[in-house]
Structure 1
Amino acid sequence: MNRKILLVVISTIFFISEATAQTVNIKGIALDSSNQSPLISATVVLNDKNNETKYHDLTNKRGEFEIKEVKSGTYILKITYVGYLDLEKKISVKDKDLNLGNLLISSSVISTDEVNVTANAPIGEQKEDTTIFNATSVKTAPDATTEDLVKKLPGVQVESDGTVKAQGEQVKKVLVDGKQFFGDDPTLALRNLPADVVDKVQIYDKMSEQSEFTGFDDGSSTKTMNILTKNNKRKGQFGKISGGYGHQDKYYGSLNYNLFDNAQRISIMGLTNNVSQQNFSFMDILDIMGGGSGQRGQFLRIASRVMGPGGFTPPPGAQTRMLSQSGAGDYMVGQMDGISTTHAVGINYNDMWTDDIEVTGSYFFNYTSNINDQILEREYTLSTDSLSYYNQNTDSYNKNNNHRLNFRFKFDLDTNNSIILRPNLTLQASNIDNTQFSDYLLSTNNPLNSSDNLYQSNYEGLNFSNELLFRHRFETRGRTFSISINTSANDRNGASGQFTQSIYYKPSQNYDTLNQNSQAPTGGYGLSGNISYTEPITENQQLLISYNVNYNSSNSDKRTYDYNPANIDYDILDTLLSNKFDNYYFTQRGEINYRYKKDEINFTTGLAYQRAELNSLQDFPLNLKMDYKFDNILPSMRLQYKFSKTDNLNIFYRTSTNSPSISQLQNVIDVSNPMQLSTGNPALEQQYSHFLMGRYSSFSSDFNNVFLLFTSFNYKTNTIANSTFIAQKDSILQGGIVLPAGGQLTVPVNLSGSYSLSSFFTYGFPLDFIKSKMNLNIGGIFSRTPSLVNNNTNFSNAYNTNLQIVLTSNISENVDFTISSRGNFAITKNTIREDLNNNYNYYTNSVYLNWIFWEGVFLNIDLRNQFYTGLVQENNNNFTLLNISIGKKLFANNSGEIKLTLFDALKQNKSIQTNVTDYYIEYAQNKILQQYIMLTFSYTLRAFGMQPQMPFGPPGHRHE
């Protein structure tokens, strides 16, 4: 009875609050002033006398908007649209609905008889937490891509592998007009969208869709780049097709076709080549080892230690390297060492089926085969009186293919209710064939052992995820309710085989043979839900109460069989290298957040309580049960302060946890490389992290000078680190497994004392006297990483700083150049052996020139030089790569192009990487493309302002 009375009282309070104030509706239509065409998705806001936004809406496909439940008073109506001047109109709201009729908005582009001119366009501006750059302020070549464009923006860097960094952080999403484009792959969007359709580039931290609705950041935001297209480029057809052939049977072909009809957009891309060109990035990783291993964790830890903030790129090889056949390194889509052949095709579809149904979908397929010959030399620095060497030669042939399907459906049930559905599916297959020879030496001429290793594997896997989000907005402004339900499933199946012959020279020469097959199916599923409710306290204050529950189940069943010569089959079960494991992970999280927003301040703070339960069951070879319970208090804070229209400060603090994966807990030894064994640790505990970030941005009053400063601090307790045992003599491990002298066993352990501090600074300014722009980037990182080496605690302290100067042309479309010089300075200090600390510098200088100098004849020069100082093999790492192309624009509108390209004109291209870790220094040389010549023909399609003709029937309901 008391519960019923309480419900009645709460319902009555809600009803009274909704009915107290009389409100009206305001509607109108936003149109282009020149041709009265509708402006779709224009932003419409009502600001009060203090210029604070009280109500907002977006226009539909007919340019219509309707703002409901507006209280009486005087407001400023403001309509903003990319490429158009802002419209401001003072309105008075009384007791009747308002129909403002047609609102004509003028373009910000000044038209002349022959061309469109945007003279002295400002480089950009800052709005709230979003940095906006004007594409019209940057001149690029006529056939430039959006990637070429963003390279010229202050604080943005695009690495050779397609990785994009902005404001010191890696860009994880690239949207086009706020919509997904081929899923979340940044490279696909930037390399397939021509620069001449771009109007503005927005950079911001995108929150989850539920967080965007509530206005409270849940800590899952990602650095995002939103490409806004020009309004006059949103209807028509555009794209490019290219084909080339060269000596040594080198070939390249690509297709990029876009069909835009305002809201309806279809994009098709295709790629085929055998010159290691990939038009995609690291999007899909299915871990074929079921969640990681100690060995893989070691390399990932090293990578995170040496990788700096935006602007700092370590020398090749300071990146993640997989030296055994374990982990996702053998199963991922992305740039790989060696020479690759790639075939890829994709289609992206966006549409508004009705005013209330928005659809986004994409399909992407790629096949990659890779051949690599790697020579690796490693020098161990185990102790002050011990120095040993490990050499490895590997011939590998890997084949990967994947299918990726992404969809997003948004249903607006009415003005206050909406549903979003996001299913995603990835299918992958991997085939690996590696031959490896390795030897271990106590000194240069004192061999300890050697081995020949043949490894083969075939795996297939899938990942499926789906999100269902319901959002409800109450009539009271600031009161919302939302609920999301997420499901996921993954499955991986396949087999691997290994044949190894080893020779041990001490104390006397003896031989050992390993001949095994393994099957290691893994799978799992997940179910999670999140409920959020926001309640306004006052006009400027708001509360968020949320509850999250998450359940994940994962399993692994590894069976390893030895070869039985009697039966000529693999039927002898090796119980030491087999086990069956199940993990069940259940978390509950309750959270309360408070937000204050007024004028220049937007402040949010919150506190969460999280309880996590991890149950691990081992059914084979022994029955073991492990139960873990983790209770954590997780505070968070965010502050946004706007000093002026041009100066903005963001401070963000959050805490998080990281639980060990199934493979990190699984105590089965991975012997795929007999000299580099790894196993899990059932006693691992949860890792707890503190992260503090600050970002300051400033534009000059004329928006031509840009200043950006980013800094972050990360501190971890119970860090999941590595304990590495390097055998000084033949050793017997648990279960009778022999670790030969010089071999390694890596086990994940919990250690304390891990932290990192990073900072990134950029300053961009024009050089009017040469019609160019200068960007100055400075970055640095200090990290302290703990580890155990033969039970001795080691702290690896890494100091990395970098300085980069970039000069980009802004002269004309006929002269496009970028000159860049970057120096990276790295110091590594280890506490185990201080006399072998490392100090080296890495420099990269590059020149890019695209010059159309006579009657459509053009010259392309791409020059890159790198060199090291401070390394033992520094001279072998130095090289200059020069690519030269000369060609001619064809046809009346220069839509055709033929060019002859000489790749590696100086015959110096090489791939030599250097790894500096806490207990060894490593040099790796990989197979790479050498000099070749290719003749290429390209045709560019540009047809805007007309009704597009679809090459096939519409994939769904076509709106009027």
Structure 2
Amino acid sequence: MKIYSVFLLLFIFYGGSTVDAQTNVKGDNGLSLSGSISDSTRNIRLEAASVALYRQGEDKVHSIALSSRTGRFMLEKLPPQTSFRLQVIHMGYEPFEREIIIVDSSINLGELYLTPRANELEAVEILSPVRMNGDTIEFNADAFHLDSNAVAGDLLTKLPGITIWGDNEITYNGKRINKLYVNGKDFFSTNANIALQNIPKNIIDNVQIFDTDRERRESKNANIVLKKGKDRGIFGKIGAGIGTNKQNELEAIANLFNSSNQLSVGGTKSNINKPLDDIDQLLNNTTFGGISLKVDYFSDLRKKGYHEDSAYGMMFNHNFRDKPSYQMGDHNELKIDLFRKSSNSLTERNINMIRSMSEGADNSSVTKESRHSDFNNFLGNVRYQFKNGQRTDLNISAKFEKRQVDNNRNTSTVGQLYDIETRESDLSREELDESILSLNADLRISSKLRSNWVKWYDHVYFKYDLLYNPSTSIVETDKSIQSSSADFDDRSFLRNSKFNGSIVNQDAYVKLERIFPQKMSGIVDIDIAQRVRLNHNSSDHVVRDSSELNESLTYDEIEYGIVSTSSLSLGRKFMIDELYMRYEKSIGFYSNFDVQVANDDVRSGYSDRNINRTNAFLLPSLRINYLNKVEQNFVKDLSLSWDISYHTPSIGLVAPVVDSINILNQTYGNRDLENSKNNNISLRYIYASFKPTGLHYDLGFHAKFLEDAFVPNISYRNDGRRELYFINDKNVQVNYVASANMRKAFKMSRESNFTAKLSNMGVFSKKGQVIDGDYDKLKSMSYHGKLDLLFNFSDFIKLGVYQQFDFFQQKSRLNADFKSTTSDSNLSFGLGLRKRAFLNTSISYLNVENNSTSDGVLLWNVSASYRALKKRNLEIKLSALDILNNNSSITVNSTSTYTMYETNNIIRRYVMVNLSYYPRFFYY
């Protein structure tokens, strides 16, 4: 906690530092060359002129800048006693060159005049390192000197204004790069690292930076343009590892691409708790370049149980346009993902549970559980995207998933209540076979301007979703219950249950956006929308006790549901001060009115479970927004909102199925439950600086007031049984949530930067429950905070530190207070030596404390790797995990009705040797 407090104070101190202070530090770390660029005939300042310095005798740029709107430029971090060649290039002007000698002081060249070209047709264009092409900035990749094996990420770190920070965020002159394209398209994934750490610098022609939206210029997009004829290649990884304690892993992936197609095929198999959830994850973790602060895609040592995982799949992307207009957002693309995963796991748990009771009676239960599971999953996705400029946006997707789960569970429990001891033993086998098919389509069409200069609407939006979910489950249970109570007969069950069910959900939605935009010029928004949701669930339950049919639990059930929602949205924006594309100060008022009608119809063969109910709700919401934005400087965004929502009690609360096999814990229904009502109030303030090392923070506060909440009514009987049903709480429940997220960047030099990120969230709530007829007031407080400090000292030295702190406290009128704190500290270090040898290490300490226990776990992981061959694509790696053999697992959880302490089996120390080959065949 002391470390966390120190880091927090440092962050607040440095977060308040001004940008001017950062500039002064820069000026003290080297010499500078400055001046202004003007037109020689009209004597006007020239914007976006390329100003480059070359060392004498070299053709690779040493330092580069673009002139500002006032024609100013400055080149910093220049070494003394060095001769340079200064080159200034601007479209439509003759190139300007001069020899410059930096001795021991900074130089101001004053005004530099460029001469307009006399004949544009006869002019020979000199390709500058950087130039403006309309609103797009283009960097010439060949102008920057890099190693022959450098990748795109190495190039971006050399470009002026572009910074890749320690948290992998990319900025250009302080503005975040939202999307990174390759030839106007995603490169295998939306994850920028796939392109940055795999594409060789040698096949890159230029890098383009442009606005994401002409109206909203708070962020940028980037596009890597490959050289003509070089837009095809093959790359990937083939690796194997063997370790102590019979640990092993295999992984392989091959990626092929050309101007229109991208194909990834790969898979993995391991028993070191290193699961794979999709091909995109494998692609991201097997890249060629980059140093990781996680010890390279290591095992999850905190995952509970032992797991043997295998997975494989393919991803295919086809773009129907070879050269899409990325600035207009054009898309015409088909994506197909197929993925198969299987897992075999063994988990062992020990659980100690203490329940909440009105008299504070001695009660506890101790459970030991062993579970062996087989899991098989197949996932298929097909997505089609079409966007034609600003006119039409179409997205169609289909997803199919099939899951098969087989669990064998052995559980024994000893419980104590009112001096009555009960013993339960449970041997069960569970099979699940489930399929999920979903279809989703949405279409947005922008209206054309009518000949009479009247538009009916700006956009019309259609959406349709379909879900089909058939499933079958079989549960075989052998259960026995013994009690020391003379009033309780020992029970034993041999139960066989089979369930067949299917769910069909449909959702249709249409919306007209900005109706009569010309006629309602003072109104920012008038929208109308209609949504209809249809639900159909059917199920068939068959239950046998031993060989006898259980009549009460054998039944068929059909549920129909329809929800119709009509919406009207109104909004108005008042401009306080504005200069187009320079600054804006405004305040907006927005409201929404939903009329919702819902009907549930349940027809069940189970006694008292037939329900037909209709509810109608008016759901208003209001929002006020204040915006203050200055281009190239900052944006301030303040919003205050309020809305109402309702919750209808589910059929499980109104009429649950009462199962005799759980005789010690019986749940009943309450048909008198009323709907609950939520009043929500939210306040949010966002500040973002556009300076390269600016401060960003996001502050939020949310309050929820819940009327007639569903709360448990629990009774404990003298024979050791527990009975439960839900009632409406006539006291208003409150819930307050406050959050603060901040980010501050520091740049020590072109190669070195530091990022500090702080996230905080606190929750305070008041709620109630009834235990043995007494109303129990519960007050709970929780806090989650994390501070990340990320250092990039150079391209080959990275350091990361994070401190996480979690706190939970619950106070009850009827029970003892519960308090739990968790502290998680981590230090990660990555080092590259001579571009071939790499060292990664991480040390973490997790400490969990509560009212009665305290447990600390210190984990130390290390990996060392060496890259061989000319292209550095053969790697040997030695890894040691949990070097101190100190790993353990403990979980503490507290709710309104119980407190639970749990320990699990977990993977321990092992050493592994890996050999990997990175095939790389690019056409250049």
Provide TM-score, normalisation by structure 2.
Answer: 0.69
Kindly state the Cα deviation for residue 437 of structure 1 after the two structures are TM-superposed. Answer: 0.3
Partner of 1:36: none
Distance 1:415 1:713 in 2: 36
Q: Partner amino acid for 1:563?
A: S
* Larger gyration radius, structure 1 or structure 2: 2
Kindly state the Cα deviation for residue 934 of structure 1 after the two structures are TM-superposed. Answer: 1.3
Distance 1:492 1:773 in 2: 48
1:460 maps to which of 429, 433, 449: 433
Kindly state the Cα deviation for residue 906 of structure 1 after the two structures are TM-superposed. Answer: 0.9
Q: Partner amino acid for 2:556?
A: K
Give deviations 1:921-957, integer Å, cap 9, x for gaps: 211001111112211122334555x38xxxxxxxxxx
Kindly state the Cα deviation for residue 388 of structure 1 after the two structures are TM-superposed. Answer: 0.9
1:572 maps to which of 549, 554, 557: 549
Match status 1:859 vs 2:832? no
Kindly state the Cα deviation for residue 434 of structure 1 after the two structures are TM-superposed. Answer: 0.7
Give deviations 1:766-790, integer Å, cap 9, x for gaps: 2739853333333322233443434
Query: Is the partner of 2:507 in helix, strand or coil?
Result: strand
1:715 maps to which of 701, 704, 724: 704
Query: Is the partner of 2:616 in helix, strand or coil?
Result: strand
Kindly state the Cα deviation for residue 904 of structure 1 after the two structures are TM-superposed. Answer: 1.2
Partner of 1:729: 718
Partner of 2:271: 274
Mapping of 1:144-155 within 5 angstroms? Answer: 149=168
Partner of 1:647: 635
Kindly state the Cα deviation for residue 704 of structure 1 after the two structures are TM-superposed. Answer: 1.1
Structure 1 residues 174 and 855: CA distance shift in structure 2, 3 A: closer
Work out whether residues 715 and 772 of structure 2, in 8 Å CA contact, stay in contact via their aligned partners in 1: yes
Distance 1:711 1:890 in 2: 51
1:138 maps to which of 165, 170, 175: 165
Partner of 1:940: 918
Kindly state the Cα deviation for residue 546 of structure 1 after the two structures are TM-superposed. Answer: 1.1
Structure 1 residues 850 and 202: CA distance shift in structure 2, 3 A: farther
Match status 1:593 vs 2:569? yes
Structure 1 residues 509 and 723: CA distance shift in structure 2, 3 A: closer
Q: Partner amino acid for 2:435?
A: L
Partner of 2:901: 923
Deviates more, 1:630-639 or 1:756-765: 630-639
Query: Is the partner of 2:658 in helix, strand or coil?
Result: coil
Structure 1 residues 232 and 721: CA distance shift in structure 2, 3 A: farther
Structure 1 residues 857 and 175: CA distance shift in structure 2, 3 A: closer
Query: Is the partner of 2:477 in helix, strand or coil?
Result: strand
Give deviations 1:749-774, integer Å, cap 9, x for gaps: 67751423131232323273985333
Match status 1:479 vs 2:458? yes
Structure 1 residues 622 and 388: CA distance shift in structure 2, 3 A: closer
Work out whether residues 887 and 900 of structure 1, in 8 Å CA contact, stay in contact via their aligned partners in 2: yes
Distance 1:112 1:623 in 2: 74
Query: Is the partner of 2:168 in helix, strand or coil?
Result: helix
Partner of 2:406: 431
1:620 maps to which of 603, 606, 631: 606
2:421 maps to which of 448, 453, 459: 448
Structure 1 residues 590 and 84: CA distance shift in structure 2, 3 A: farther
Distance 1:270 1:503 in 2: 49
Partner of 2:101: none
Q: Partner amino acid for 1:267?
A: S
Q: Partner amino acid for 1:481?
A: V
Work out whether residues 440 and 742 of structure 1, in 8 Å CA contact, stay in contact via their aligned partners in 2: no
Query: Is the partner of 1:248 in helix, strand or coil?
Result: helix
Partner of 1:868: 848
Match status 1:558 vs 2:577? no
Give deviations 1:82-114, integer Å, cap 9, x for gaps: x9976547xxxxxxxxxxxxxx85228793233
Structure 1 residues 506 and 754: CA distance shift in structure 2, 3 A: same
Partner of 1:247: 244
Distance 1:151 1:417 in 2: 30
Partner of 2:740: 760
1:259 maps to which of 256, 259, 279: 256
Work out whether residues 600 and 611 of structure 2, in 8 Å CA contact, stay in contact via their aligned partners in 1: no
2:532 maps to which of 512, 537, 549: 549
Say which structure, 1 or 2, has more relative contact order (CA 8 Å, 6+ apart): 1
Kindly state the Cα deviation for residue 583 of structure 1 after the two structures are TM-superposed. Answer: 2.1
Match status 1:878 vs 2:866? no
Partner of 2:7: none
Partner of 2:769: 787
- Across the aligned residues of Structure 1 and Structure 2, the Cα RMSD in angstroms comes to 4.3
Structure 1 residues 248 and 776: CA distance shift in structure 2, 3 A: same
Structure 1 residues 409 and 431: CA distance shift in structure 2, 3 A: same
Mapping of 1:266-305 within 5 angstroms? Answer: 266-280=263-277
Mapping of 1:725-874 within 5 angstroms? Answer: 725-730=714-719, 741-743=720-722, 745=724, 752-766=732-746, 768=748, 771-833=753-815, 836-853=816-833, 856-874=836-854
1:521 maps to which of 491, 496, 500: 500
Partner of 1:111: 143
Partner of 2:345: 370
Kindly state the Cα deviation for residue 672 of structure 1 after the two structures are TM-superposed. Answer: 6.5
1:888 maps to which of 866, 876, 882: 866
Distance 2:210 2:496 in 1: 52
Partner of 2:694: 705
Aligned sequence identity (%): 15
Structure 1 residues 180 and 235: CA distance shift in structure 2, 3 A: closer
Q: Partner amino acid for 2:601?
A: N
Q: Partner amino acid for 1:759?
A: S
Deviates more, 1:114-123 or 1:917-926: 114-123
Work out whether residues 684 and 750 of structure 1, in 8 Å CA contact, stay in contact via their aligned partners in 2: no
Distance 1:861 1:413 in 2: 48
Deviates more, 1:410-419 or 1:465-474: 410-419
Q: Partner amino acid for 1:814?
A: F
Query: Is the partner of 2:908 in helix, strand or coil?
Result: coil
Q: Partner amino acid for 1:594?
A: L
Distance 1:639 1:340 in 2: 50
Distance 2:655 2:170 in 1: 44
Distance 1:481 1:585 in 2: 27
Q: Partner amino acid for 2:848?
A: Y
Mapping of 1:307-386 within 5 angstroms? Answer: 337-354=304-321, 357-386=332-361
Deviates more, 1:423-432 or 1:651-660: 651-660
Gaps of 5+ in 1: 1-82, 90-103, 124-133, 140-147, 154-165, 167-172, 205-211, 216-224, 284-333, 565-570, 731-740, 948-960
Q: Partner amino acid for 1:113?
A: H
Distance 2:767 2:131 in 1: 52
Q: How many residues align?
A: 720
Partner of 2:385: 410
Q: Partner amino acid for 1:783?
A: S
Give deviations 1:898-925, integer Å, cap 9, x for gaps: 1121221111111110012223321100
Kindly state the Cα deviation for residue 492 of structure 1 after the two structures are TM-superposed. Answer: 1.2
Structure 1 residues 658 and 939: CA distance shift in structure 2, 3 A: farther
Distance 1:152 1:845 in 2: 28
Partner of 1:35: none
Distance 2:460 2:835 in 1: 63
Work out whether residues 455 and 498 of structure 1, in 8 Å CA contact, stay in contact via their aligned partners in 2: yes
Work out whether residues 122 and 702 of structure 1, in 8 Å CA contact, stay in contact via their aligned partners in 2: no
Structure 1 residues 349 and 797: CA distance shift in structure 2, 3 A: farther
Kindly state the Cα deviation for residue 711 of structure 1 after the two structures are TM-superposed. Answer: 1.4
Q: Partner amino acid for 2:851?
A: L
Structure 1 residues 176 and 436: CA distance shift in structure 2, 3 A: farther
Distance 1:563 1:823 in 2: 51
Provide TM-score, normalisation by structure 1.
Answer: 0.67
1:401 maps to which of 376, 380, 397: 376
Distance 1:179 1:830 in 2: 57
Partner of 2:594: 608
Q: Partner amino acid for 2:143?
A: S
Gaps of 5+ in 2: 1-128, 148-153, 201-206, 281-300, 325-330, 450-454, 576-583
Distance 1:358 1:616 in 2: 43
